[in-house]
Amino acid sequence: MAHVLGQNQYGKAETRVVRITRNGHRHEIRDLNVSVALSGDLDDVHLTGSNAHCLPTDTTKNTVYAFAKQYGITSPEAFGIQLARHFVDDTEPIHRARIRVEEYVWDRIATPDNSAKFIGSDEIGHSFVRRGTEVRTSEIVYDGSSVQVISGLKDLIVMNSTNSEFWGYIKDRYTTLQEAYDRILATQVTARWKFGFTGAEGEPEPNWDRSYGQVRRHLLEAFAETYSYSLQQTLFAMGNRVLDNRAEVDEVRLELPNKHHFLVDLEPFGLKNDNEVYYAADRPYGLIEGTVHREGVAPVIPVA
């Protein structure tokens, strides 16, 4: 029986690179985790063991470091596009490159007496604090003719302590959940959004950092301002707010685990629990997922 080699790719995963830009006393940090996956004319390396068309994964790692020095890192998206174009355009057997980037964000440390060091500033120019668990993400795919950019974030933890209900759902003999008319709504947001940008000649790139900040703001504002009757409703409101306000984005995919908070029964202690004391459950948790996209634009972001 004959067997056929299917889709394949290879590369170097999770190359950690930290780039410091020194502008006098004020420094800038870009802290990235870069994964490269290449595909193309690679049948022989699988079928015969010939490495004639194989760019070593160690070379892709070195390229990440070299590009960080040569070109700097203005944003994860711009850096990923540079890498993807290089691997495809400059290595003949490679026809497609996928670059995935995680960015770990560092905020400046502010001190009340810092003015003595930097006039007119309340920030230390070289001291930073990591921004919790939140991670910025991007995925760039280039096939030699067009670029696809999907930006995102993960592990953004948010909570509404009220303005959330859940009732009127299907009930069968296994249903024990009580209807809630004032509950905590908490989730750990994973969001990905696709740009209309294709990388065509002469097409200007979006301001990636500004776009990221604005999309993040609209996600948070929609979460905070939506009176929620279900996490699904909140998901749609978050995606809808982004598309309403960011013309460069065509599609938003959200994954929202429901971080359940259950009222603790205090009656055995003679105490009334008036929506004040909760048990934060770790697992199991509800997982709400969905995509919001512009009418007439086919969704392309895959399920993670």
> Which amino acid is residue 80, in one-letter code?
G
223-261 per-residue burial string, b: 16 or more CB within 10 A, e: under 16: beebebebbeebbbbbbebbbeebebbbbbbbbbbbbbb
Q: Which of 218, 259, 260, 293 is catalytic?
A: 260
Token code pair at residue 6: 């299917």
Q: Measured in whole angstroms, how far is the alpha carbon of residue 161 from the centre of its chain?
A: 25
Q: What is the dihedral of CA 271, 277, 282, 285, to 10 degrees?
A: 100
d(CA 46, CA 98): 20
Token code pair at residue 155: 């592990």
Token code pair at residue 165: 């209900």
Q: Measured in whole angstroms, how far is the alpha carbon of residue 174 from the centre of its chain?
A: 36
As a whole number of Å, the CA-based R_g of the chain is 24
291 is catalytic: no
| Structure letter (DSSP) for residue 92 | T
Q: Write down how long the chain is.
A: 304
d(CA 209, CA 156): 17
Token code pair at residue 251: 């599609």
**3-state helix, strand and coil shares in percent for the chain, rounded to the nearest 5:** 25, 40, 40
Q: Which of 53, 57, 59, 95 is catalytic?
A: 57
293 is catalytic: no
d(CA 160, CA 179): 18
272 is catalytic: no
Q: Which of 12, 194, 218, 259 is catalytic?
A: 12
Catalytic positions: 12, 57, 260
